[in-house]
Amino acid sequence: MAITLVNPKGLPEIDAYRQVSIATGSKLVFVAGQVAWQADGVTVGEGDLAAQVEQCYVNVATALAGVGASFDDVAKLTVYVVDWTPDKMPLLMEGITRAAAKLGTAPVPPASLLGVAALDIPEHLVEIEATAVID
């Protein structure tokens, strides 16, 4: 495995992600921001942040699998949420939990969460991009 996830002493331990990843692989994989589209381009969960987060994680996993990688290879996630406010955190976490159950993994690499004014179309509430490292 090319990625080791660490919570260094002196930093808070966060359930949803680890503070640091150590990458030892030889190939970088950059996954474009994934939105809540199904393969046919239909948006999943219009108006439902948790459903869209779940679909985004599933789409990231699909993109990774397409190049022989998985969430175990992800060194960093960036999550963009439209009109982010802290009261949306339970919905974000619900979507991550549902995706983890569906995928059979706990996607906990270091992550950044950014609030944005809008994404590509009004129906999309969240977008997730990933950087992975594989051998």
pLDDT at 106: 83
Region 54-77: mean pLDDT is 96
pTM for the whole structure: 0.91
CB 83 within 8 A of CB 122: no
Distance of CA 1 to the CA centre of its chain: 19
Strands 111-116 and 20-23, how do they pair? unpaired
Residue 115: other Cβ atoms inside 10 A: 13
CA dist 130 and 132 (Å) reads 6
Q: What is the pLDDT confidence band of residue 1, given thresholds at 50, 70 and 90?
A: low
Residue 61 in this model has a pLDDT that exceeds 80? yes
Higher model confidence: residue 13 or residue 36?
36
Q: What is the pLDDT of residues 85-109, one digit of tens each?
A: 999 999 999 999 999 999 999 878 9
